Structure 1
Amino acid sequence: MEDVLRPLLVIGGSLAITLSVGWAVDRLLQRTDARHAETPLWGLLRRCRLPLQVTVCSALLRGSYDKTHARVVREHGSGIAQLLALVLIAATAWLAVRVSAAVVESSYRRYAASAHDPARVRRVRTQVTLIQRVVTAIVGVVAASAMLLTFPAMRTVGTSMLASAGILGIVAGVAAQSTLGNLFAGLQIAFGDMVRIGDTVVVDGEWGTVEEITLTFLSVRTWDERRITMPVSYFTGKPFENWSRGGAQKTGAVVFHLDHSAPVAEMRVRLGEIVRKSPAWDGRDWSLAVTDTTPSTMVVRALVTARDADDAWTVRCEVREQMITWLREHHPYALPRITTATIQPPLPAADSEDRLTRFGGDLHKDGTHPRQN
């Protein structure tokens, strides 16, 4: 009976203590969050309840499993101890990642709530995202190293591993040159303010919005909802267009090729009417001018401003469509015309025979007329 009760008491007691600790911590965080609603940290820390419970339970079992005096413990004590140690290390790493994520996200939310510059908010968002990824990577490496050191064989070869660390470091540095380059490029992007999450960029002729930045790659969502994934080292080694740097406002251009008789003054008045009715126009500026001429046409350029690249595209399409419709309906002569020469139709068969008769005979087989010889 004692062999049955001891394991039940140890395991049941550990579970009871774990549930009690999890419930108490959750209630404490809930009350603190209600008193300090302006700080989102306490509410975010409630997400750590599950990894906290796993950590507490594995720690309690790791310290009391040998008190059960069970047969399986006596026969496989070392294996059970190592398994519980691995679970404890993994749970602790899980808890550390959750806590760091809550702290980073809380800092970003507080800054975003008080900031008034969208560009700076995107910059901070990019930085905290990469910081969180760095913390996760460091915690993962430390946890994996600690788990490996629980194996006696790994502790035995530890001295030889340290002795050859210099050679291995050189080999690993050469082999992982591209990966390390992307890693440092990611940190340079995060703290150099080159590109941020939410920026509108043009890379390799593709226009899109930066959707995700990691330590090794960057994802751009194009206007047609495709995703372009490229290494972050691309943005530190090649030129690219960042339409959001220095502000998201844009100036869009619409070019018309028209006849020289086009009514430019009336077009200017019509452009003002179009942009004033467009919700995509930000109200800053618009203009229309003749920018070039050719022997057959003249080039008229309309400029309109917008809040961002999306609105600039929208207002450009509206101006182009409505201006062409207005010209076609009220000034069709202003549209470019193409003049072509009229081709004479071939002569009927009867006319061909009359011509042969007038020439006095049939043509030779080579197509020449007898009079030509």
Structure 2
Amino acid sequence: MENWFERMRGLVTSDWEAIGAAALAAGIAVAIALVAHRLVFRALRRVSRSSESEADDIVVRELVSPTRWAVVALALVLSARAMPLLDSAWQAVAGFVVPALIGWIALSIMQATVKALELRADITVADNLEARRRRTRLAIFSRIGTFAIVFVTIGLMLLSIPGIRDIGVTLMASAGLAALAVGAAAQPALKALIGGLQMALTEPIRIDDVVIMDGEWGRIEDIRTTYVVVRIWDERRLIVPAHKFLEESFQNWTRSDSQLLGTVFLHLDPMAQVDQVRARYEELITAHPLWDGRVQAVQVTDTAPDYMEVRLLMSAKDAGTAFDLRCDIREAMMAFIRDEMPEAVARRRVEPIDGDGLDVLPD
């Protein structure tokens, strides 16, 4: 009996010693890896800060976290080669950890690349058509790439589970039924993915485009694979399914360029002197700082018994500027008519009949 107790005590002692040795080896390896990682990225930060480009700063910032965990995993792999107990523990989690780290690093590289390319696409400049095209394509392709990386990473992690792997093999035996089931289940996701690709290639809309959708005026703020965010002029957000921009009609005011024509309509008395109105309008528009100098015109576009419709046509560099220009010109022209041409105000005329009453002229 005493020999049995001695044998069991020796086994327990040896197991704890093995566990302690494995933990010590893993701790030392991880500490060395973290120190090396800190030193390497400290040097990389100094190099990136010394350069004028911001792209290398973005790359270093995006890669610091995933690479830190990657070197920790590498340290555990190297230490597990000499420690059988640690090797068995690593093999139990490697199927989850390795695909997750690879996917994380791939996702960080893609995001760093997208952010670096966005620096070359400045949409705050006046002529930003090409920049908006690049921003739109980058936004769509980055989200499609993110979906693909996450999908493949999760798939590889699930394949490390024997039960799920066996289910996959069983489904492959009945490929026809599996294809139908997967196709039916993934139809919305595939439709959104294909729609995103189509939107990136055909470019019906771009980031910062001015559109009118569902009767609302706004700018394209964000383009996702399944929906588009439109920033309304009063700071509201209109969430529109992406397929509506492919299947339904809408107005895009900046499709080819941002320049736009604006109009102001005046309803004046039919006897008003249009030449005076035209002369005053030309004075106002040529002196206005928001006018881009391309188009200005005064035309009588409609007549009625009680009024005539006069259209003031003007041009501006973009939709927001055109709106402000129209408001300023409308206010100035109404003040001019009130002060200088009160006879031009539209009025309804009546005439007496046999001196007994009044008869309104027919419309």
CA distance change for structure 1 residues 86 and 332 in 2, over 3 Å: closer, same or farther? Answer: same
Please state whether the residue corresponding to 2:255 is helix, strand or coil. coil
Identity rate of aligned residues, in percent?
A: 34
Secondary structure of the structure 2 residue equivalent to 1:195: coil
2:281 is matched with 271
Letter paired with 1:55: A
Measured at CA, do residues 236 and 204 of structure 1 come closer, stay the same or move farther in structure 2, by a change above 3 Å? Answer: same
Instruction: Give the distance between the partners of 2:185 and 2:351, measured in 1 at CA.
Output: 69
The structure 2 residue matched to 1:202, chosen from 188, 192, 212, is 212
Change (3 A) 1:21 1:141: farther
Corresponding position of 2:69: 54
User: 1:348 maps to which residue?
Assistant: none
Which residue of 2 is the match for residue 164 of structure 1?
174
Query: How many aligned positions are there?
Result: 335
Residues 217 and 82 from structure 1, CA distance in 2 versus in 1: closer, same or farther, beyond 3 angstroms?
Answer: farther
- Tell me the equivalent position of 1:337: 347
Q: Which amino acid aligns with 2:27?
A: G
Partner of 1:228: 238
Q: TM-score, normalised by structure 1?
A: 0.80
**Equivalent-residue separation in structure 1 for 2:67 and 2:184 (angstroms):** 40
Q: Which amino acid is the alignment partner of residue 331 of structure 2?
A: E
Q: For 2:126 and 2:297, how far apart are their aligned partners in 1?
A: 30
Using the size of structure 2 for normalisation, the TM-score is: 0.82
Is 2:327 the counterpart of 1:314? no
Partner deviation per Cα, 1:280-310 (whole Å, 9 max, x = no partner): 2222221112111101100000011000010
Equivalence for 1:10: 25
Give the conservation status (yes or no) of the 8 Å contact 1:3–1:69: no
Kindly report which structure 2 residues correspond to 1:58-73, keeping only aligned pairs within 5 A, or say none: 58-62=73-77, 64=79
How far 1:145 sits from its partner (Å)? Answer: 0.9
**Higher mean C-alpha deviation, range 299-308 or range 288-297:** 288-297
Match of 1:122 among 113, 121, 132: 132
Q: Which one-letter code corresponds to 1:327 in the other structure?
A: I
Aligned to 2:361: none
Is contact 2:44–2:60 with CA below 8 Å preserved after alignment? yes
- CA–CA distance in 1 between the matches of 2:176 and 2:40? 46
CA distances 1:30-77 after superposition (whole Å, capped 9, x unpaired): 354356534x4422221211111112213433554686687xx79xx5
Which is greater in Rg? Answer: 1
Gaps of 5+ in 2: 1-15, 353-363
RMSD (Å) for aligned C-alpha atoms: 2.9
Q: What is the alpha-carbon distance in structure 2 between the residues aligned to residue 340 and residue 179 of structure 1? A: 68
> Among residues 269, 288, 301, which one is paired with 2:298 in the alignment?
288
Say if 1:89 and 1:143, in contact at 8 Å, map to a contact too: yes
Residue type at the aligned position of 1:196: R
Change (3 A) 1:252 1:206: same
Distance 1:146 1:297 in 2: 75
Q: Which amino acid aligns with 1:102?
A: A
CA distance in 2, matches of 1:278, 1:15: 68
Mapped to 1, the partners of 2:326 and 2:127 lie a distance apart of: 26
Give 1:197 deviation, angstroms.
Answer: 0.7
CA distance in 1, matches of 2:264, 2:66: 57
Report the equivalent of 1:26: 41
